[in-house]
Amino acid sequence: MFDDTKIREKVAISHFLERVQKIKPEKIECTKHTFFRLNEKQRTIYTVEELRKIILYETPFLVGIQNNECYAIFYRYKGIIFKIIVVFTPTKINIVTFYIIKEEQIPRI
């Protein structure tokens, strides 16, 4: 079976950051699906604004393109590891899913 969410290609962090800088902050948007994995308390902490800050001002340690063409971005932020799945369009970034993961869940590419 073909795994759509498997990372097929590693992306240079500098290339990813260049793409992000071309997008206006207000054009980084969340979908209905973004926070579905979080509990109620986590949803009050990790808001759209917080995710925008992370994407705009933090440097990921790993970026990859999944088989489904989404970008999987991994950050270490305030002692926590985040996996953020995004889709780029020419004028915006849609945050599809946001995960809090453990060290052993970081993929080996």
What are 22-75's pLDDT values in tens digits?
A: 999 999 999 988 998 888 898 888 999 999 999 999 999 999 999 999 999 999
Q: Per the domain annotation, does 2 fall within a domain?
A: no
Say how many residues make up the chain.
Answer: 109
Q: Per the domain annotation, does 46 fall within a domain?
A: yes
Buried b (16+ CB within 10 A) or exposed e, 62-82: bbbebeeebbbbbbeeeeebb
3-class state of residue 37 by DSSP = coil
Query: Minimal CA–CA distance to 8: which of 71, 55, 59?
Result: 71
Rounded Cα distance, 66 and 21, in Å:
21
Q: Which domain holds residue 40?
A: 7-105
Q: Per the domain annotation, does 1 fall within a domain?
A: no
* β-strand partners of 83: 74, 99
Query: How many domains, in total, are found in the chain?
Result: 1
Q: Is the pLDDT of residue 3 over 90?
A: no
pLDDT score, position 5: 85
